[in-house]
Homo-oligomer: A and B are copies of this chain.
Amino acid sequence: MDVAVLERSLGYAFRDSELLKTALTHRSHGANHNERLEFLGDGVLNCVVAAALFQRFQSLPEGDLSRLRANLVRQDTLHQLALSLNLGDFLLLGEGEMKSGGHARPSILADALEALFGAIYLEAGFEAAAQVIQQLLASHLSAIVPGQSMKDPKTRLQEWLQGQRKPLPQYQLLDTLGAAHAQKFHVRCVVESLKFSTEGIGSSRRIAEQDAAQKALEALTP
């Protein structure tokens, strides 16, 4: 795959192509792998997210900010962002890992994304990395409604429908992709009463349902 495609989705073009290659290299592929960059990127990500939440929610207490941050930096979220970048197509994996579906494994994808953040920090500094991270997380950040945000999307969708005196949404499993330990679940969320449905994807059925519910909330609520 042409890394220029990845760079366009990231909104950042690497000057040092070796550094980019290291960020995309899983330890199964060779000695020059991305684990150190992942360590660095994890620190950068946590700091950027903390600062973004601090600035955005001026009246939220520390405990709520911590919970929101935990949600934004956990593997599920990073995995979804990695999928949106088609990051799996660009990974360098060892043969065994490749055969067993490592390209789709949530932990490998999440780690590689953090490694990319670390590499950008290293090459262009904190502000450049912050810009990339904030842009990737923009829809997650703007979906947060303080107070409400502590509840997951399925709960919020259910409560919103109850407020409209509508029946509860239905979730259907559409299909399951990938090998056993790196499955992707594809579900549909159906709001029968509004003749409306959305689809979601994720590394577990629950996560895929939350994804579909989030999309329904974004489309249905103001």
Contacts and interface: CB of A to CB of B under 8 A. Distances in A.
Stoichiometry (number of copies): 2
A62 B43 contact: no
Contacts of A220: none
B43 A61 contact: no
A146 to B, nearest CB: 13
A133 to B, nearest CB: 12
Interface in A34-69: 35-36, 38-40, 42-44, 46-47, 49-51, 54, 60-62, 65-66, 69
Contacts of A60: 36
A126 interface: yes
A65 B36 contact: yes
Given A39-B50, A54-B122, 9 more contacts: A35-B62, A36-B54, A38-B62, A42-B50, A43-B49, A46-B46, A54-B118, A125-B127, A126-B127
Interface of A: 35-36, 38-40, 42-44, 46-47, 49-51, 54, 60-62, 65-66, 69, 118, 121-122, 125-127
